[in-house]
Amino acid sequence: MIIAIDGPAASGKGTLGKRLADHFGFAHLDTGLLYRAVARVLLDRDVALTDRDAAARVAQELDVTHLDDERLRGAQMGEAASVISAYQPVRDALLAFQRQFAGQPPGAVLDGRDIGTVVCPHADVKLFITASAEERARRRHRELLSRGETTDYEIILNDIRRRDERDMTRSNAPLKAADDALTLDTTHLDADQAFQAALELVTRKQT
């Protein structure tokens, strides 16, 4: 069984993905970490994010055993990943790994921005998680502060709006809900409420 979860930055899709995977005993992959990992390598090598060929080479050789690196969760990597994820050669290089991950038994939950539309178009369940830009900025602000990062809410809000625009208008695998996706707006839901709502949608789709 494959559960595909898509949505914009800080919508809560990653938390939902992990909790649903734990609930069903499935593997979980936050596909955004793959792009963040590619960006991290480029930045560590002082290679410009605009170097598409270098980004593609890094993606082809990416070591996926270090996706738990805390650096990948920071705002810098999120912004950098949004840039290099627009490059089709990068997406192509990471696609095979994502599909292989999705095919493992007894099932897998993948979250990202093009899981239901490109990576796993035949997923058993597709969810599109969203929330207002203001609420997503508040969540990201709290998350970064909890990690000891000094940041400003207004800057985060502007970054999220910019990323939304970039992700939704890019020519390669733009952020959008699949035609058969179930949409869940988490703006006014806490983590537990969002999980229960998502679980109900998955259960309803199974029956």
pLDDT digits (tens, 9 = 90+) for 80-136: 998 999 999 999 999 999 999 999 999 999 999 999 999 999 999 999 999 999 999
Amino acid at 170: R
Q: Which residues of 143-172 are buried (b: 16+ CB within 10 A; e: fewer)?
A: bbeeeeeebeeeebbebbbebbebbeebee
Which amino acid belongs to residue 63? D
The CATH number of the domain holding residue 60 is 3.40.50.300
> Is 106 annotated as belonging to a binding site?
no
Residue of higher predicted confidence among 166 and 23: 23
> Per-residue confidence at 74, pLDDT binned at 50, 70, 90?
confident
- What distance in Å separates the CA atoms of residue 184 and residue 194, rounded to the nearest whole number? 8
Q: 8 a known binding residue?
A: yes
Whether 10 has a binding-site annotation, put simply, is: yes
Comparing CA positions, the residue from 202, 46, 29, 18 lying closest to residue 120 is 29
pLDDT at 49 over 90: yes
Please indicate if the annotation marks 14 as binding a ligand: yes
Q: Binning pLDDT at 50, 70 and 90, where does residue 170 land? A: confident
**Is 11 assigned a ligand-binding role in the annotation?**
yes
Q: Tokens representing 138?
A: 């508040």
Split into its structural domains, the chain has a count of 1
pLDDT grade for 172, boundaries at 50, 70 and 90: confident
Residues forming beta bridges with residue 111, ordered by sequence position:
5, 30
Contact assessment for residue 131 and residue 187, using Cβ atoms and an 8 Å cutoff: yes
Per-residue pLDDT at 148 exceeds 90: no
Q: Is 13 annotated as a binding residue?
A: yes
To the question of whether residue 15 is assigned a binding role by annotation, the answer is yes
- What do you get for the CA distance between the two ends of the chain, in Å? 14
Distance of CA 188 to CAs 12, 34, 122, Å? 12, 29, 30
User: What's the confidence (pLDDT) of residue 207?
Assistant: 67
pTM: 0.92
Residue reference for tokens 């998680």: 129
Do 84 and 50 contact (CB within 8 A), yes or no? no
Residue 206 reports pLDDT greater than 80 = no
Full residue range of the structural domain in which residue 132 is found: 2-206
Neighbours of 12 (CB within 10 A): 26
Q: Is 105 annotated as a binding residue?
A: no
Is residue 205 predicted with pLDDT exceeding 90? Answer: no
DSSP 3-state of 129: strand
Residue 78 confidence (pLDDT) above 90: no
What mean pLDDT is reported for the chain? 93
| Residue in the structure block whose two tokens are 């890094």 | 58
